[in-house]
Structure 1
Amino acid sequence: MTYFAVNEHVVYPIQGVGEIQAIEKRPFREKQVLYYDIYFETPDMTVMVPVENAESIGLRKIVSSKEALKALELLNKEYEQANTDWKTRNQQNLELLKKGTISDIAQVVKTLYDRSTSKELPIQERKLFDNASKLLIDEVSLALKKSKKDSESMIFEKLEGGKKPVPEQDPELDFDKDLDDDTE
């Protein structure tokens, strides 16, 4: 079982990247249960997840910089999504997002982006694309210690077929300063 610490960023499938603000015991059905209190900046909410269920719901640590760079490279890969029915495609993409791995998120972003370049996405798929893009941007920015704006630029450059190499993370980067820059 993986345990998380207060102030650690985690990925909660579909919900996104959150920060553990507290770990506390609360009564539940006549016993004390240990919970992670996870704060999500967007949409400004806190979710309580029982520590014992965290792994089964897919709560995980932010990926390493190496894994994030690998996910960015997947954005250059061609994915075949044979189904032409948008409802079926939407369900397939939702299933990938529920798995919650960064490579699955990148695949959803890539397939929906590619589809959007040839045909306008239905509203539900557009929402799914926006959500998946946000998930990818948030995790890549934390993993590479980049601002969200820089991460978004890198992602869309890859999607658009840009051949510039993804810059390595700068260990000297003041990460807290970058987070402050994103809120302005």
Structure 2
Amino acid sequence: MTSRNTSAQPEPQFKVHDHVVYPLQGVGEVVRIEEREFKGEGLLYYVIYIPVSDMTVMVPVHKAAEIGIRPIVSREEALEALDFISENPQAGPTDWKTRYQMNLDLLKKGSVMDIARVVRALYYRSKIKELPILERKLFDNALRILVDEISFALEISAKEVEARIFQQLEQESAPIEEEEEDLFEEEDEDLNFEEEDEEENGDDMEDADLDEEDDSEE
């Protein structure tokens, strides 16, 4: 008979039925907290259901903060994010590949203001020039996550939140001006980068949770 290590486990920060934000994925509900044995040690896991993608993920309780699992923001913070996106962003890098990585890193950080910053920056970028495929996907994902969280925080429908976000985005009349070189980027080079990125890395936004599930089983 093997003995199980019963070393102290951190107390779960969240309870069953709490709503939390999962970076890159959106709002989920903690449907249960369960213990599983791994290498003779009992580990606690959050089982989180994310309705927008109809996906269930398991996150070790002791890794939740490291992964970025956090509570939904308050009503005041949600309204602050809505006000924030009505402001024109500062000019960013002219190289779209650099912009993409910067915005992806912000989305991975996962705060509501970081998400709002990505939505704002890419929206105004799209007013200057049509977004490359990967940036468009990034914008769509950031918008979905922002709508999802603000909808829960303000307790109003996602449709109403999305309408308010675009209303805020349209408040400023003129988008930022960019250097001319950005308007004459080599589109063939952009396309090649998109294809290589998708082949080598897959869709970062859709597969992020799978990487975390792998980590939880190691």
Taking structure 1 as the reference length, the TM-score comes to: 0.85
Equivalents in 2 of 1:73, 1:96: separation in Å?
Answer: 19
Structure 1: tracts of 5 or more residues without a match: 163-184
Structure 2: tracts of 5 or more residues without a match: 1-10, 173-218
AA in 2 matched with 1:160 = E
136-145 or 26-35: which moved more? 26-35
SS state at 1:27 partner = strand
Equivalents in 2 of 1:142, 1:12: separation in Å?
Answer: 14
Give runs of aligned pairs for residues 29-178 of structure 1, distance below 5 A.
29-161=39-171
Equivalents in 2 of 1:58, 1:2: separation in Å?
Answer: 14
Q: Cα 1:77–1:15, aligned 2, differ >3 Å: closer, same or farther? A: same
User: Aligned-pair distance for 1:15?
Assistant: 1.6
Given that 1:81 and 1:89 are in contact with CA atoms closer than 8 Å, whether structure 2 keeps it comes out as no
Equivalents in 2 of 1:160, 1:79: separation in Å?
Answer: 13
Q: Any idea what the Cα deviations from partners look like across 1:46-102, whole Å, max 9, x if unmatched?
A: 110001111111100000000000000111122224211111100000110111100
Provide the residue aligned with 2:16 in structure 1: 6
User: Aligned-pair distance for 1:158?
Assistant: 0.4
AA in 2 matched with 1:40 = I
Equivalents in 1 of 2:104, 2:92: separation in Å?
Answer: 16
AA in 1 matched with 2:79 = L
Provide the residue aligned with 2:31 in structure 1: 21
Provide the residue aligned with 1:175 in structure 2: none
SS state at 1:112 partner = helix
Taking structure 2 as the reference length, the TM-score comes to: 0.72
Provide the residue aligned with 1:168 in structure 2: none
Provide the aligned length of Structure 1 versus Structure 2. Answer: 162
Equivalents in 2 of 1:91, 1:72: separation in Å?
Answer: 24
SS state at 1:90 partner = helix
Given that 1:17 and 1:139 are in contact with CA atoms closer than 8 Å, whether structure 2 keeps it comes out as yes
Deviating above 4 A after TM superposition, structure 1's stretches of 4 or more consecutive aligned residues are: none
C-alpha RMSD over aligned residues = 1.3
AA in 2 matched with 1:8 = D
Which has the higher relative contact order, 1 or 2, with Cα contacts under 8 A spaced 6 or more apart?
A: 2
